[in-house]
Structure 1
Amino acid sequence: MIDTHVHFWNFDPVRDSWITADMQTIRNDFNPKNLLRIYNELQITGCIAVQASQTEEENHFLLSLAEQNDIIKGIVGWIDLRSPKLEERLNYWKSFNLIKGWRHVLQAENSDFILSRELINGIKKLKDFNYTYDLLVYHNQLPELIQMVDQIPDQPFVLDHCGKPDVKKQDLKTWTQNIQTLAQNPLVHCKISGLFAEADWKNWKEEELFNCFDVIFEHFGPERVMYGSDWPVMLISRPYADWFNLVQKYTSRFSAAENDLIFDKNARRFYLNS
């Protein structure tokens, strides 16, 4: 099994200012060794390490961790997609085979950024290098995201954290409509990940999360959904095993072959070309 969404960092209160005081649990260092015991217990064999800092130094940091920890099967790094030197940088990073794709924290940007010609042209270059692109937005940014993706029809994308629906308020109508539209693009996949952070951290109900899962699986199907944890961010709510067991409980309605897709094969095809 592959966990398609984990982060590693040496905590820096200035650089990591997004980790606020109410997230005390994750105001610490996190490295691959912290995951080994729980991965062994749950029979998870590897992970995709996703950027948490928006610098190219982050790529070197994740690569150095991967050299020492073979549970990291691939890396989603950061690169300035709007840079006039983008092609030069892509050529440089292409020699590091563990880097499989890129991500920018679009949830922190406005619509002008998401729909900028520079960003769209930058993402268009990724296909030539066989790179994927992770999409990180809040539910209210999905209309702009759909417009952006529509302009790059041949690029493999994956939506992080189900597009961050409003799990807490269960205001899911508009999010559902946008997910339906986005999923019509066969090159867009979706990660079942990160929903603990969008719920009431300590008092969420299983039904609230399953309502979101229903929408994702209805429109993406098991063929385009990948399991991810969003560790260690999800620790603000519950231990790792609680999320894993919750997803497995939901997917027990699917066949063994479909579960194999969700927890392993989809990730291997999308990120690892295997």
Structure 2
Amino acid sequence: MRLDGHQHFWEYDPKRQDWITPEMNRIRRNFLPADLYPHLQDAKMAGCIAVQAEESLRETDFLLDLADQHEWIVGVVGWADLKSDSLDEVLDTYSDQPKLVGFREVLQSKDPRYMLQEAFIRGIRKLGDRGYPYDILIFPNHLEASLELVKKCPDQHFVIDHLAKPFIKSGEWKDWKKTMAPLSERELVHCKLSGMITEADWKSWTPEQLIPYMEIALELFGPDRLMYGSDWPVCLLAGEYERFWQVIEEFTDSLSASEKARIMGETAGEFYKI
């Protein structure tokens, strides 16, 4: 099964999507299933994983409602306040939602030590007890704290979104690789080949600039722990869906058929229990 392991939907509201700045005018509008489906068809994707972009239970419910309406939205990575004393009750309300396959928070906007709070770690463990994996959305300066988090939750499945957003625009990769490597040694930690073009120069990036980062991710995690994600519609800031998908397609063409199949969908399907 070929899957887009990371994309978003929203009904644009400048207050709820306050992270979309004026320079991001291209994505200051609604993006809904009808907008994405033709791209999935062109890329021969059987479905997608819809990931939260807003920190609210309203967002989780919104994505689950879309998934109920469209069978090809095969999973939802939602949001919940992991530090809340009522987390168990909140998770109970979603226990009958088979398409809720994981959770995420916008950790990149917070101090790295945020994820090491006792209440947050307790929340991660509660997710694990219920079989939910966790998407880690971070910048490179969060990697060391992320390793501490992973060590404190050794039985939890994690996936690092967007390769932890390395500094592709400047071409830096040595420090990023050095701090990614210890995380990759934890066998329950996965990584998404996603979000790269928006970390490059939006107007002038080339596929060749992305190759070193993809090669390092493949070296560190292997195809069994790598998954493709478009990061649509955020990717539109730097390129069309087809352009980034083609970069991943061509990169994986150099692998065996089984390795390519893992990255282009099977890893995500296994990770999210699709």
Please indicate the TM-score interval, normalised by the length of the shorter structure: over 0.9
2:89 is aligned to 88
Deviation of 1:39 (Å):
1.4
1:115 aligns with 2:116: yes
Counterpart mapping for 1:258-273 below 5 A: 258-273=259-274
CA distance in 1, matches of 2:39, 2:122: 41
CA contact (8 A) 1:32 1:71 kept: no
Deviation of 1:147 (Å):
1.0
Structure 1 regions of 5+ residues with no counterpart?
A: none
Aligned to 2:29, the other structure's residue is in SS state coil
Runs of 4+ in 1 over 4 A off after TM superposition: none
1:63 is aligned to 64
2:127 is aligned to 126
Greater Cα offset, 72-81 or 256-265: 256-265
CA distance in 1, matches of 2:58, 2:160: 24
1:137 is aligned to 138
Measured against aligned partners, the alpha-carbon deviations of 1:220-242 in whole angstroms (never above 9, x if no partner) come to 00110001000000000111000
Identity of aligned residues (%): 41
2:173 is aligned to 172
CA distance in 2, matches of 1:59, 1:205: 35
Deviation of 1:126 (Å):
1.1
Aligned to 2:84, the other structure's residue is in SS state coil
Aligned to 2:129, the other structure's residue is in SS state helix
Aligned to 1:5, the other structure's residue is in SS state strand
2:196 is aligned to 195
- Aligned-partner residue type, residue 110 of structure 2: E
- Aligned-partner residue type, residue 28 of structure 1: R
Deviation of 1:156 (Å):
0.5
2:41 is aligned to 40
CA contact (8 A) 2:184 2:221 kept: yes
Measured against aligned partners, the alpha-carbon deviations of 1:13-39 in whole angstroms (never above 9, x if no partner) come to 111111111111100100011112121
CA contact (8 A) 2:202 2:237 kept: yes
The TM-score, its normalising length taken from structure 2, stands at: 0.98
CA distance in 2, matches of 1:177, 1:207: 21
Measured against aligned partners, the alpha-carbon deviations of 1:75-101 in whole angstroms (never above 9, x if no partner) come to 000000000111111121111111011
Measured against aligned partners, the alpha-carbon deviations of 1:185-233 in whole angstroms (never above 9, x if no partner) come to 0000000000111110011122221111011000000110001000000
Deviation of 1:111 (Å):
2.5
CA contact (8 A) 2:76 2:102 kept: yes
CA distance in 2, matches of 1:215, 1:264: 20
Deviation of 1:146 (Å):
0.9
CA contact (8 A) 1:81 1:118 kept: yes
- Aligned-partner residue type, residue 70 of structure 1: E
CA contact (8 A) 2:113 2:145 kept: no
1:236 aligns with 2:233: no
The TM-score, its normalising length taken from structure 1, stands at: 0.98
- Aligned-partner residue type, residue 117 of structure 1: E
CA distance in 2, matches of 1:15, 1:35: 21
